[in-house]
Amino acid sequence: MRNRRGLPLNHKWRKLQEAFDKTVEKGTVRVPLSGDDVLMQCSQFTQVPFGKVGTKRKWEETNSLYGWRKQSIFFQLPYWRKLKLRHNLNVMHIEKNISENILGTLMNIKDKTKDTIKARLDLVKMDIRQDLHPIVDEDKTEKNDGVLHTADVVWLAQHTTINEGGILQWVDDNRSKEVHAQLHQLVQDKDKEPEGDQPRPQTQEEMLIHVLGPKSGYTRGKGNGYGGSAKARLQEEQQQIMRKQQEQITHLQIKIQQQRQQKKPVVRKVWMPKAQ
């Protein structure tokens, strides 16, 4: 990597470790070699033969100090070593490819973005940027946005905001007092209920849903409304079924207890088809 070498020496990004590869960058960009430097380095080893030599040509290890294997044939031209740009690059295609990669990643364009699951898994192998490591679910692997992870926190963030004083408030200021009053009344009503009527106290998320209702709409990187993922929606449906069953069981227990107190047997109505 080491892409921070081109930054100024006093740049603050050079000291950022967790945001990059967990290192402090102290290096600088190397000065490009001139034509004379390349020619001097390439003249210190035996040139490899050009063309087809035998059926299979195998590279031999070179003893060159600079790592060169062969000298370009263009250095036979007398002016080649004096050129500042010895190998002309197609700037138009390079700009096009780089622009497409950057825009495709920033705009999250399908099949053009470089921010893919494979790229996130590479971060896991390199052990950097833990906040961007993918979330491995039972069914599939999803990208992690590094900010919010659970559907209830996402839903709460869509309804609230932090004011200048650092206090959490509802997005609609005009409705703020009404919402707080409803929540306060809901808590008081739940405290007054008998223990047998309510099998368990409501959570904060359930109270907010009761007052505001679940908000729909897709949030990038966080999911669709309160049910941010298929697993979360399935868990919510299962919890609702369990709540209904628990309420039915509690209601039947209360009814049986009342019947026992009155000493009246429970009469079951059985429907019998008429004989033809």
Residue 222 has pLDDT above 50, yes or no: no
User: How much of the chain, in percent, has pLDDT values that exceed 90?
Assistant: 0
In this prediction, residue 227 carries a pLDDT of 43
Q: What is the largest CA-CA distance in the chain?
A: 117
The pLDDT-based confidence of 201 (bands split at 50, 70, 90) is low
Domain residue spans of the chain: 89-146, 151-259
Site of tokens 């919402």? 179
Residue 213 has pLDDT above 70, yes or no: no
> Alpha helices, DSSP H only, in 168-229?
176-192, 204-212
Distance separating alpha carbons of residues 32 and 141, to the nearest angstrom: 43
Distance separating alpha carbons of residues 6 and 10, to the nearest angstrom: 11
Burial degree of 218 (CB within 10 A; 0-12, 13-18, 19+) = exposed
Residue 249 has pLDDT above 80, yes or no: yes
Distance separating alpha carbons of residues 89 and 94, to the nearest angstrom: 8
Token pair for residue 103? Answer: 């825009």
Residue 253 has pLDDT above 70, yes or no: yes
* Average of per-residue pLDDT across 104-112: 86
Each residue's pLDDT tens digit, 173-196 = 555 566 666 666 766 776 666 655
- Tell me, rounded to whole angstroms, the distance of Cα 229 from its chain centroid: 13
Q: pTM for the complete prediction?
A: 0.38
Token pair for residue 155? Answer: 């839903």
Strand, helix or coil at 148? coil
Residue 221 has pLDDT above 50, yes or no: no
Q: How many CB atoms lie within 10 A of CB 5?
A: 13
Each residue's pLDDT tens digit, 30-40 = 888 888 888 88
In this prediction, residue 233 carries a pLDDT of 60
The pLDDT-based confidence of 147 (bands split at 50, 70, 90) is very low
Token pair for residue 272? Answer: 């019998």
Q: Cβ contacts of residue 143 below 8 Å, gap of 6+?
A: 115, 117, 120, 132, 134, 135, 221
CB 97 within 8 A of CB 105: no
CB 227 within 8 A of CB 233: yes
In this prediction, residue 156 carries a pLDDT of 54
**Comparing 24 with 68, which gets the higher pLDDT?**
24
Distance separating alpha carbons of residues 1 and 115, to the nearest angstrom: 17
Residue 113 has pLDDT above 70, yes or no: yes
In this prediction, residue 174 carries a pLDDT of 56
In Å, how far are 64, 76, 211, 261, 266 from 47, measured between CA atoms? 11, 13, 81, 107, 104
CB 196 within 8 A of CB 254: yes
**Comparing 211 with 150, which gets the higher pLDDT?**
211
